[in-house]
Chains A and B, each alone.
Chain A
């Protein structure tokens, strides 16, 4: 297991926004997407309208986002 990261190959880094079905309860646009955001309260998995940016749902994500601390990774690899 490596503790270093590969150099990114993409020119720009971005979070993948996965389109989901449904209409925004605020503006009615059918442009909802799910993705992870980092805000003042920490990481959140959100479902947001791409037209008005209203948050339709907002659930706390793992405290370190996509980063998995070594201890947890070892436990995970060990099937814990």
Chain B
């Protein structure tokens, strides 16, 4: 199996063959992004591989940097500024700033410039009846302008079109008549037939952009892989890191605008399944930031929208990930009031931490770890980079503070750990969880070094360091199913007499999904509902299996109240419930990476004894271990350091680590369970 993660700087390719994990890194090429992917895959060998799963941040990067093709937006006359208004949400820190402007706005960086947003005379009412018929002559005049402007794509989103698609379909025909068949067109009633105009409009606009960005790329990639000897399935990962065949991905490419971070959550869920752990906090500590997500009852915590930037949302299922600016490269600084600060600024990979010797002069968390003796200067990044302790020392000495050197280094490490612990706690509490019910999965290059130290602050049950923590996210691309999904909106009160209408909506979607997938799979149904009078929905209320009849409706209502209570802490059983959006997922199992059990037996033998400094009140003697030589069942008491190619695990005093049967490290407090 092969997985590839195309980032802005590097393209990472991971291969799993007979349980052996291999990784290669190729510089990304914005001019021809398919070439490095094929090159990386060639290096690891393509022949005989059954699947090639692809994730990329290309779509999101194009949107954020506004390196986008020229696209027009057609909507009902008088509503062309719907894209500027968004949901009129201000970021919390800008609530009282009168000069704040939404970046999506005409005044700043519109995705579609205002002159390419054109109104069309027509109007459907909310019940689907025609208030104004489509004025085809006026529409042709608008399209003639777009033709003169040489647009490459057109997004069409008319008011209330999710109820009746007739006007949008006719407008698409007219668009092809006037602009030609080669122009990319997306209509909202097919892209995302959901209520609420703004999310439907922005989803449709993003869909056209992604059609233009990914269509040529996907074909070149499929061709290149074929020429290199690949004959398996090519799948694309979406915002929730679930997979879809590449031809399906090109039908609704808004789903693949961003994939990558969610793969770590998938990987954690897969490991949790193998370990029998169903509630997980997934913590990916990289160079710049820490991404925190949850797996609850075996399932990643999924949202029904994905926010590309502030208030720019699309109707795509996405894994909810929260980030904090704390990682190995986070810069240590002194505030104007004399406090030690860590992050959110990062030294990144270039110049990187001072100890890299690439010109960085500001101290970072990695410099602190080196000065504390946690990192081995000779064995960093599998020996690819030699760290310079003297440069790290000078960087910390340059801080303008009356604090002593020992305090500067020790405080920097502890504050980085506390920042991450705070975010992890916030994420769990925000979702109504109790940290004590969760196990923390620590991965990313810096995760095993920082997170065990956070165990006492977090109150989670234990910390698990998975096998291959440095490549754990990429492995997530090989840990997931193919998922086809569809959703529809219909404002229907959940009364017994509404059952036929609700059943028809679900049946139509299920039929469509089975036809698209060409095979059967596990069907999951859910709906977003609200109490009568509310303007927001409670999402993902699970629908029971089997036909929906008048007898099923009370159970739907009860499940809504349960979901509402879980989310908001109260219930209103006397208020009628209204269904708003209905969703069907068809999951088709795909080949996945297996965590193979290792042979148990033997003792953990340290390679040497090292000195850890500035971790407590004085120097500590700690045993150093090579992770590859640790047999399952071995127990290690802190303080200790466990080294492997792309990560270093720190076991602090008062903790023990046990090697699990899959090679994972299970870290607990020594008095756990007392």
Task: Report which A residues bind B (CB closer than 8 A).
Answer: 26-29, 39-41, 49, 51-55
- A52 in complex: contacting residue of B101, B105, B107, B115, CB < 8 Å: B115
Contacting residues, chain B, for A28 (C-beta < 8 A): 148
Q: Is the CB of A53 within 8 A of B148?
A: no
Q: Which residue of A lies closest to B108 (CB)?
A: A41
Report 6 cross-chain contacts, Cβ distance below 8 Å, ordered by A residue.
Answer: A27-B145, A27-B148, A27-B149, A40-B105, A52-B115, A52-B145
> In the assembled complex, how far is the CB of residue B150 from the closest CB belonging to chain A, in whole angstroms?
8
Task: Report which B residues bind A (CB closer than 8 A).
Answer: 101, 105-107, 113-115, 145, 148-150
Contacting residues, chain A, for B114 (C-beta < 8 A): 53, 55
Contacting residues, chain A, for B101 (C-beta < 8 A): 40-41
Report the separation of the CA atoms of residues A49 and B148 in the bound assembly, to the nearest whole angstrom: 12
Contacting residues, chain B, for A27 (C-beta < 8 A): 145, 148-149
> In the assembled complex, how far is the CB of residue A53 from the closest CB belonging to chain B, in whole angstroms?
4
Q: Is the CB of B115 within 8 A of A54?
A: yes
Q: Is the CB of A52 within 8 A of B106?
A: no
Q: Is the CB of A40 within 8 A of B148?
A: no
Contacting residues, chain B, for A54 (C-beta < 8 A): 113, 115, 149
Contacting residues, chain B, for A55 (C-beta < 8 A): 114-115
Report the separation of the CA atoms of residues A51 and B118 in the bound assembly, to the nearest whole angstrom: 12
Q: Which residue of B lies closest to A53 (CB)?
A: B115
> In the assembled complex, how far is the CB of residue B311 from the closest CB belonging to chain A, in whole angstroms?
15
Contacting residues, chain B, for A53 (C-beta < 8 A): 114-115
Contacting residues, chain A, for B145 (C-beta < 8 A): 27, 51-52
Contacting residues, chain B, for A52 (C-beta < 8 A): 115, 145, 148-149
Report the separation of the CA atoms of residues A51 and B113 in the bound assembly, to the nearest whole angstrom: 15
- A40 in complex: contacting residue of B106, B113, B115, B149, CB < 8 Å: B106
Chain B contact residues: helix, strand, loop or mixed? loop
Report the separation of the CA atoms of residues A41 and B101 in the bound assembly, to the nearest whole angstrom: 8
- A26 in complex: contacting residue of B105, B107, B149, CB < 8 Å: B149
> In the assembled complex, how far is the CB of residue B127 from the closest CB belonging to chain A, in whole angstroms?
34
Contacting residues, chain B, for A26 (C-beta < 8 A): 115, 148-150
Assess A51 versus B148: contact at CB under 8 Å? Given A26-B115, A41-B101: yes
Select the residue from A29, A49, A52, A54 with max chain B CB neighbours within 10 A. Answer: A52
Report the separation of the CA atoms of residues A4 and B647 in the bound assembly, to the nearest whole angstrom: 76
Report the separation of the CA atoms of residues A62 and B580 in the bound assembly, to the nearest whole angstrom: 48
Assess A29 versus B148: contact at CB under 8 Å? Given A52-B115, A54-B115: yes
Select the residue from B101, B113, B115, B150 with max chain A CB neighbours within 10 A. Answer: B115
> In the assembled complex, how far is the CB of residue B245 from the closest CB belonging to chain A, in whole angstroms?
38
Contacting residues, chain B, for A39 (C-beta < 8 A): 106-107
Q: Which residue of A lies closest to B107 (CB)?
A: A41
Report the separation of the CA atoms of residues A26 and B149 in the bound assembly, to the nearest whole angstrom: 5
Q: Which residue of A lies closest to B145 (CB)?
A: A52
Known interface pairs A26-B115, A26-B148, A28-B148; 15 further A-B residue pairs with C-beta atoms within 8 A, sorted by A's residue number: A26-B150, A27-B148, A29-B148, A40-B105, A40-B106, A40-B107, A41-B101, A41-B107, A49-B115, A51-B145, A53-B115, A54-B113, A54-B115, A54-B149, A55-B114
Contacting residues, chain A, for B105 (C-beta < 8 A): 40
Contacting residues, chain A, for B149 (C-beta < 8 A): 26-27, 52, 54
Report the separation of the CA atoms of residues A75 and B378 in the bound assembly, to the nearest whole angstrom: 72
Select the residue from B101, B107, B149 with max chain A CB neighbours within 10 A. Answer: B149
> In the assembled complex, how far is the CB of residue B523 from the closest CB belonging to chain A, in whole angstroms?
47
Contacting residues, chain B, for A51 (C-beta < 8 A): 145, 148
Contacting residues, chain A, for B150 (C-beta < 8 A): 26
Report the separation of the CA atoms of residues A29 and B145 in the bound assembly, to the nearest whole angstrom: 10
Q: Which residue of A lies closest to B147 (CB)?
A: A27
> In the assembled complex, how far is the CB of residue B154 from the closest CB belonging to chain A, in whole angstroms?
14
> In the assembled complex, how far is the CB of residue A20 from the closest CB belonging to chain B, in whole angstroms?
17
Report the separation of the CA atoms of residues A39 and B107 in the bound assembly, to the nearest whole angstrom: 8
> In the assembled complex, how far is the CB of residue B110 from the closest CB belonging to chain A, in whole angstroms?
11
> In the assembled complex, how far is the CB of residue B47 from the closest CB belonging to chain A, in whole angstroms?
49
Q: Ordered nearest first, which 4 A-B pairs have the shortest CB separation? A: A27-B148, A41-B107, A54-B115, A53-B115
Q: Which residue of B lies closest to A58 (CB)?
A: B107
Q: Which residue of B lies closest to A44 (CB)?
A: B107
Report the separation of the CA atoms of residues A72 and B106 in the bound assembly, to the nearest whole angstrom: 31
Q: Which residue of B lies closest to A40 (CB)?
A: B107
Report the separation of the CA atoms of residues A29 and B107 in the bound assembly, to the nearest whole angstrom: 24
> In the assembled complex, how far is the CB of residue B208 from the closest CB belonging to chain A, in whole angstroms?
18
Report the separation of the CA atoms of residues A54 and B115 in the bound assembly, to the nearest whole angstrom: 5
Report the separation of the CA atoms of residues A26 and B145 in the bound assembly, to the nearest whole angstrom: 10
Contacting residues, chain A, for B106 (C-beta < 8 A): 39-40
> In the assembled complex, how far is the CB of residue B25 from the closest CB belonging to chain A, in whole angstroms?
41
Report the separation of the CA atoms of residues A55 and B150 in the bound assembly, to the nearest whole angstrom: 16
> In the assembled complex, how far is the CB of residue B120 from the closest CB belonging to chain A, in whole angstroms?
15
Report the separation of the CA atoms of residues A60 and B107 in the bound assembly, to the nearest whole angstrom: 12
Q: Which residue of B lies closest to A28 (CB)?
A: B148
> In the assembled complex, how far is the CB of residue A17 from the closest CB belonging to chain B, in whole angstroms?
16
Contacting residues, chain B, for A41 (C-beta < 8 A): 101, 107
> In the assembled complex, how far is the CB of residue B614 from the closest CB belonging to chain A, in whole angstroms?
52
> In the assembled complex, how far is the CB of residue B216 from the closest CB belonging to chain A, in whole angstroms?
24
Report the separation of the CA atoms of residues A49 and B149 in the bound assembly, to the nearest whole angstrom: 11
Report the separation of the CA atoms of residues A2 and B148 in the bound assembly, to the nearest whole angstrom: 49
Report the separation of the CA atoms of residues A26 and B150 in the bound assembly, to the nearest whole angstrom: 8
